[in-house]
Amino acid sequence: MRNVRELGTRLTNGTKAKQGIDAAAIRELAELLTETGLTEIEVEQGGMRLRVAKQLAPVSHVSAAPIAPVAVAAAPAAAEAPSAKREGPHPGAVTSPMVGTVYVAPEPGKQPFVKVGDQVKEGQTLLIVEAMKTMNPIAAPRAGTVSEICVSDAQPVEFGQTLLIIS
Query: Quick one: which of 164, 165, 166, 157 has its CA closest to 75?
Result: 157
| 114 CB-near residues (< 8 Å, 6+ apart) | 104, 120, 124, 126, 127, 146, 149, 164
Other CB atoms within a 10 A radius of the CB of residue 130 amount to: 16
Q: How far apart are alpha carbons 17 and 20 in whole angstroms?
A: 5
For 153, the 3-state DSSP assignment is coil
* Residue 102, phi then psi, degrees to nearest 5: -95, 140
* Residue 23, phi then psi, degrees to nearest 5: -60, -35
Give a three-class secondary structure readout of 94-122: EECCCCEEEECCCCCCCCCCCCCCCEECC
Asked whether 9 and 25 are in contact (CB, 8 A), the reply is no
Q: How far apart are alpha carbons 77 and 22 in whole angstroms?
A: 35
Q: How far apart are alpha carbons 102 and 112 in whole angstroms?
A: 12
Q: Give 10-residue mean pLDDT values along the chain (167 residues).
A: 51 48 73 73 72 58 48 48 56 92 92 94 94 92 94 93 93
Q: Specify the pLDDT at position 13.
A: 52
The reported pTM is: 0.49
Q: Specify the pLDDT at position 3.
A: 52
Q: Specify the pLDDT at position 88.
A: 62
Asked whether 55 and 61 are in contact (CB, 8 A), the reply is yes
